[in-house]
Amino acid sequence: MNTFVVYILFSASIDKFYIGYTSNFEERIRFHNDTVKNNIWTKRGQPWEEFFIIKDLTKSQALKIEKHIKRMKSKKYIQELSNDPKLVEQLKAQFG
């Protein structure tokens, strides 16, 4: 069974976060930073850097947590997530 992650990237060049989920983070961040293959929104923010990862999720959990974080539309919330492991555990339980 594949495990999934929710990843949060940060672009200093546009001062934005990007939230996504995947079963292969290394491949995914390479895509976001690929100047040739990437034709999606994230091309504008290259280079992207890893900001935070929530690991060991099912696909269903990852999708729900990704949507939840995106709905929050809050840099402050993203920073709180990265600083508070209890908040991450609450999300895993809530969407488990």
pLDDT of residue 62: 98
pLDDT, tens only, 57-66: 999 999 999 9
Tell which residue, 29, 31, 89, has the closest CA to residue 61: 89
Q: Residue 58: what are its φ and ψ, rounded to 5°?
A: -80, 165
Name all domains of the chain by residue range, CATH numbers in brackets.
4-94 (3.40.1440)
Q: Which residue has the tokens 């293959």?
A: 37
pLDDT at 48 exceeding the cut of 90 = yes
* Mean of per-residue pLDDT scores for the chain: 95
**Residues 12-16: what's their mean pLDDT?**
96
Mean pLDDT over residues 70-91, rounded? 95
Dihedral of CA 73/43/52/63: which sign? Answer: positive
